[in-house]
């Protein structure tokens, strides 16, 4: 793409004397690869603008046919260059986002290794690899995992090693800091009911030239408190009387019987105080800045409501998320259940999220683009109020996937596979399968089947310049934004999953939810009597 652009730029340079109105920025060849191999995105965008200006300019008067034909050809090639330049800029923005993410992972890993170092000299020799998944953060070779055990004397990952974010400066925060040290916990991996005796294994072994897989997916994860949880955040579905009553009861019980600090939303605090002034021990926050610090204070989140309340809880945390205990409204036995959660260990499901950002065609640099959105279910690109088919060009990494002509496209997590994606004909996928579902909405084609792509890919959905209408993006069914021609949505797996407490384990809970919640494959049992076979 870059080389064809440069080829055209050379051609344009040779024409410069004949066309004095050509922009000198382009003609002088300032669009050149930088030393690091990238093209400077600002000059790219300037060049793109210049090309577009050039296209808009009227042709000089008195031009002969030959020149006219030539200038027409130049116009169409210039358009191609403008598109190519835009793609390069998009690619750079996405590469920079990825680089920032790797840097963050590297710093987290380094902090963790620094903690291990004093316990034994060998740990610095650990063969540490990084993958995109929270549960796959540290992949140790077999011999090194034994060494690590000698060094650290433990098989599990401790919260202190994983979450080093309790040190934020909270002086300016409205959230009081006293008694706010987060409880620590350990995570361990279970397989068929047995605790794995190693910290983490090689994903693929190639001993003696034979390739065997040791780890295929994340195992059942168990969370064990190392110190008792002290702070609970309760989030409730609004406008529900039964939820309000359950909340009143639960807050009082958690304070009186469990001596916990309790956070609620400002709306809920007002509701509690309207009920009685004795609820003034309940804490809340003032603004978004305080919400950003919540994950450093809260040990556990309890949601009172349905799936939408869990989505709401997840959306409040733009980074790490404390474990969520979802309560449906018919939870009569909340006391026993919460007592067992506070005692631990808890089986948890790490639900992957997708990170999405919109790249605007007119943005001059990536800083002008909107911030990253995290979704637990899905991001949807649809036709909104337009009556035309969507026309969406889709790319997976740098490969063209397809063009979606229909009502739209859903990019879903495996947790979201039982939500909108299911309604659009996507498969239901166990939430611990790390993948991204690519599900069209009412495609106007006989052969468009949904796909499931691996978790490590980056997807890009572009509204082409020849699209008849705009498209609309929504995140977990909320926050609709318009995408104009040339705008793109870039989406990849986020490094911060949502840990949710299981009632039994993630597989039993998943099967129960599709049986009870969706009545999956419910059919009258066939009677025994019938025609002979």
Enzyme catalytic residues:
307
Task: Choose the one of ligand ATP, ligand NAD, none that binds residue 378, judging by a C-beta under 5 to 8 angstroms depending on kind.
Answer: ligand NAD
Distance CA 533, CA 515 (A): 31
Minimum CB distance to ligand NAD smaller for 344 or for 477: 477
Among 166, 228, 308, 344, binds ligand NAD (CB under 6 A): 308
Cβ-based neighbours of 219, under 8 Å, separated by 6 or more = 189, 190, 191, 196
How many CA atoms are closer than 13 Å to the CA of 196, on its beta-carbon side? 20
What is residue 273's DSSP assignment? Answer: H
Q: Does 311 bind ligand NAD (CB under 6 A)?
A: yes
Tell me the closest approach of the beta carbon of residue 163 to ligand ATP, in angstroms: 24
Candidate ranges 74-82, 169-177, 275-283, 299-307; the one touching ligand ATP (CB under 6 A): 299-307
Closest CA to 366 of 32, 40, 36: 40
Among 120, 166, 228, 308, binds ligand ATP (CB under 6 A): 308
Residue with tokens 């006989």: 446
Q: Does 250 bind ligand NAD (CB under 6 A)?
A: no
Q: Does 306 bind ligand ATP (CB under 6 A)?
A: yes
Distance CA 292, CA 320 (A): 10
Query: Taking each helix axis from N to C terminus, what angle separates 142-152 and 65-116, rounded to the nearest 10 degrees?
Result: 50
Handedness of CA 259, 262, 268, 273 (dihedral sign): positive
Tell me the closest approach of the beta carbon of residue 14 to ligand NAD, in angstroms: 55
What is residue 278's DSSP assignment? Answer: G
User: What is the C-alpha radius of gyration for the chain, rounded to an integer number of angstroms?
Assistant: 28
Tell me the closest approach of the beta carbon of residue 312 to ligand ATP, in angstroms: 4
Binding to ligand ATP (CB under 6 A) within 205-244 occurs at 235-238
Binding to ligand ATP (CB under 6 A) within 238-297 occurs at 238, 265
Binding mask 455-484 for ligand NAD (x = CB under 6 A): ---------------------xx-------
Minimum CB distance to ligand NAD smaller for 202 or for 378: 378
379 forms beta bridges with 411, 475
For every residue of 402-418, DSSP letters joined together read EEEEEEEEEEE-SGGGG
Task: Choose the one of ligand ATP, ligand NAD, none that binds residue 237, judging by a C-beta under 5 to 8 angstroms depending on kind.
Answer: ligand ATP
Distance (Å) of CA 388 to CA 347, 348, 382:
47, 44, 11
Tell me the closest approach of the beta carbon of residue 503 to ligand NAD, in angstroms: 15
Tell me the closest approach of the beta carbon of residue 315 to ligand ATP, in angstroms: 8
Distance CA 333, CA 403 (A): 50
Minimum CB distance to ligand ATP smaller for 307 or for 455: 307
Count of positions on this chain that bind ligand ATP (CB under 6 A): 12
Which residues are at the interface with ligand NAD (CB under 6 A)? 306-308, 311, 377-378, 415-416, 418-420, 423, 476-477
Which residues are at the interface with ligand ATP (CB under 6 A)? 235-238, 265, 305-309, 311-312
């Amino acid at each position: 793409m870059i080389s064809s652009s440069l080829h055209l730029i050379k051609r344009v340079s040779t024409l410069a004397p004949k066309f004095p109105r050509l922009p000198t920025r382009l003609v002088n060849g300032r669009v050149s690869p930088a030393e690091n191999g990238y093209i400077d995105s600002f000059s790219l965008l300037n060049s793109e603008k210049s090309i577009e200006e050039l296209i808009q300019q009227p042709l000089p008067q008195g031009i002969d046919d030959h020149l006219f034909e030539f200038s027409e050809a130049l116009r169409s090639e210039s358009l191609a260059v403008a598109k190519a330049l835009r793609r390069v800029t998009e690619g750079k923005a996405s590469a920079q986002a990825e680089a920032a993410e790797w840097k963050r992972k590297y710093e987290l890993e380094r902090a963790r290794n620094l903690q291990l170092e004093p316990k034994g000299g060998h740990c610095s020799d650990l063969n540490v690899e990084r993958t995109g998944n929270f549960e796959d953060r540290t992949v140790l070779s077999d011999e090194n995992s034994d060494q690590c055990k000698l060094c650290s004397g433990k098989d599990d990952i401790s919260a202190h090693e994983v979450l080093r974010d309790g040190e934020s400066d909270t002086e300016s925060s409205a959230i009081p800091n006293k008694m706010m040290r987060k409880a620590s916990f350990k995570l361990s991996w279970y397989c068929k009911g047995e605790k794995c005796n190693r910290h983490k294994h090689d994903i693929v072994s190639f001993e003696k030239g034979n390739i065997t897989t040791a780890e295929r997916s994340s195992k059942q994860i168990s969370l064990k408190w190392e110190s008792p949880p002290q702070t609970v955040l309760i989030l409730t579905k609004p406008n529900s009387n039964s939820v309000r009553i359950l909340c009143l009861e639960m807050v009082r019980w958690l304070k009186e019987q469990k001596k916990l600090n309790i956070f609620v939303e400002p709306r809920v605090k007002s509701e509690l105080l309207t009920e009685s002034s004795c609820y003034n021990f309940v804490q809340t926050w003032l603004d978004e800045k305080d919400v950003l610090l919540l994950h450093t204070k809260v040990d556990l989140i309890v949601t009172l409501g349905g799936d939408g309340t869990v989505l709401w809880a997840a959306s409040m945390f733009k980074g790490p998320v404390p474990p969520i205990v979802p309560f449906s409204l018919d939870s009569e036995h909340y006391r026993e259940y919460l007592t067992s959660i506070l005692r631990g260990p808890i089986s948890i499901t790490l639900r992957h999220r997708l990170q999405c950002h919109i790249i605007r065609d007119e943005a001059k640099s990536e800083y002008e683009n909107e911030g990253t959105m995290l979704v637990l279910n899905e991001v949807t690109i649809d036709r909104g109020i337009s009556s035309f088919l969507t026309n969406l060009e889709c790319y997976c990494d740098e490969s063209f996937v397809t063009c979606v002509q229909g009502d739209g496209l859903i990019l879903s997590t495996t947790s979201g596979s039982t939500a909108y994606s299911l309604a659009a004909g996507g498969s239901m996928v166990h939430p611990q399968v790390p993948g991204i579902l690519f599900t069209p909405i009412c495609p106007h084609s006989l052969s468009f089947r949904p796909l499931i792509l691996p978790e490590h890919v980056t997807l890009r959905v572009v509204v082409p310049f020849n699209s008849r209408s705009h498209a609309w993006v929504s995140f977990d069914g909320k926050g609709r934004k318009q995408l104009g021609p040339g705008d793109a949505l870039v989406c990849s797996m986020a490094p911060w999953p949502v840990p949710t407490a299981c009632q039994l384990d993630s597989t039993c809970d998943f099967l129960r939810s599709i049986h009870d919640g969706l009545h999956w494959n419910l059919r009258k049992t066939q009677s025994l009597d019938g025609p002979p076979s």
